Amino acid sequence: MTLLADITLFPDISTGTLLLLGLALLLALGFEFVNGFHDTANAVATVIYTHTLPAVPAVIWSGFFNFIGVLLSAGTVAFSIVNLLPAELVIHVGSAAGFAMVFSLLVSAILWNLGTWFFGLPASSSHTLIGSIIGVGVANAIMGPSHYWADGVNWAKAKDVGLALLISPAIGFCVAALLLIVMKILIRNPKLYTAPDAHHPPPGWIRALLMFTCTGVSFAHGSNDGQKGMGLIMLILVGILPTTFALKNASSVQELDALRLELKNTALYCQQHAAGADLATVDQDPSKIMTSFLSGSHSASPELFAAAGMITGETRSLLGDVESVSEIPKAERGKLRSDLYLLSSTASKLAKNHQLDSTAAENQAKKLASTINGVTNFIPVWVKVSVALALGLGTMVGWKRIVVTVGERIGKSHLTYGQGAAAELVAMLTISMADVLALPVSTTHVLSSGVAGTMAANGSGLQMSTVRNILLAWVLTLPVCVFLGASLFALGLNLIIRLGGS
């Protein structure tokens, strides 16, 4: 199945909507392309500056394994990024506000990445994207009925992601420094800890070690960072082409039966906990009550359970007794996806915040979310391939500025074989672990910190002017991208509405 084949299923889709769809997809792939030559340069810096590989073969090698990493990724990080977005925009992504959200967060992320790349500063694409998402959420909340900025962000999810981004550089610095010290104790080969010979490649075993770590970082980066673009592309496709992308067409009878069972259990639980709810308020818009709960720190009120019960009833009705997604009427698939998204997100938040009355209820909520995700969260092969190509090609284009910074300007002395291996090994393992935990982390932060940690442990000294500039870029990334995301969202929403968006 290709994008062109999917579009033919919508003969009534307007030219304007098609143009917006095409532009949104190009921007998402553009973000991954810039991510490639901005972030992946970190993976090749050590092999280039230790003369393990010449520059051109090194970036081709890294680009290829970024490509493979994207293709083999599980997709969990992709939907973790989507869950940061305001719920009301996610369920209405095909609206004017939804398009404005996608355009603004991608444009702001690309602008900051290009700016830091131009000055050779290894800033984080993950930080950039998350800052833009927060900016969009804040602007959407301010422009909404409540005008309260804090209602625009899934702060619980933002806290998890922010903590991962904050801790990962510290892990990179400390663990890489410790690993180098351990290596010096266990591997007493002076060549490993002296500046490389500019005219000769390293000994074979050292070269193999550095090739292994470069390959691992490249693969892990593709597996983790490539998923961010995939998540945004799926969000776009679900909003514009819900017939094909709202639900996993390959869902089995067993998956659908399991979903019906979990929905039945959820309906019973909600009915038991909705006593005393103001049903007149709930009847007006149950989805609004749920999106309000998802966007702020709200209690689990009877109204919330009443709203969840109504949405569950709608979902059970839409799902019916079908044995295949193809049996669900095309016009109802978008609505079914939105309802399932609300139920999954609400169940996850209630369980995570321990807002249910028992451990059994929390486990049931987690099971509901997992079952829903099995039917809704999928990534077509062509999406993976297009993102993999964008990331891999980006790696081969603009790598040099960041490589020079990492290889020459962090420490006062030349990077040694041992330092390169320690920094990359820690980066590879940290990013791989984050991938397993469905947490987006920064390759840039982990590897740059790892290089700095090895310089400190080796007594090589740090170039404080470079370290200061890198830290300044890291500190400014979030507030600048929040501002850019919010400003572009407000401008983009007004522009799309004037052009005739809905």
Position 9 scores a pLDDT of 57
Greater pLDDT, 159 or 452: 452
pLDDT digits (tens, 9 = 90+) for 65-103: 988 988 888 777 777 777 777 777 787 776 777 778 888
More confident residue, 284 or 409: 284
- Its pTM stands at 0.79
pLDDT band at 157 (very low <50, low <70, confident <90, very high): low
What is the CA 347 to chain-centroid distance, rounded? 21
Comparing C-alpha atoms, which of 320, 309, 311, 246 is closest to residue 272? 309
SS3 364: helix
Mean pLDDT of the chain: 82
DSSP string, 244-284: HHSS-TT--HHHHHHHHHHHHHHHHHHHHH-TT--HHHHHH
d(CA 277, CA 106): 40
Tens digits of residue pLDDT in 243-296: 788 899 889 999 999 999 999 999 999 999 999 888 888 888 899 899 888 876
- Name the band, by pLDDT with cuts 50, 70 and 90, for residue 40: low
Q: Which of 54-63, 70-79, 315-324, 433-442 has the lowest mean pLDDT?
A: 433-442
Residue corresponding to tokens 């909003």: 239
Other CB atoms within 10 A of residue 321 CB = 8
Residue 499 predicted with pLDDT over 70 = no
- Matching residue, tokens 């067409």: 249
Q: What is the pLDDT of residue 324?
A: 92
Cα pseudo-dihedral 324, 373, 66, 34, rounded to 10: 110
CB 423 within 8 A of CB 46: yes
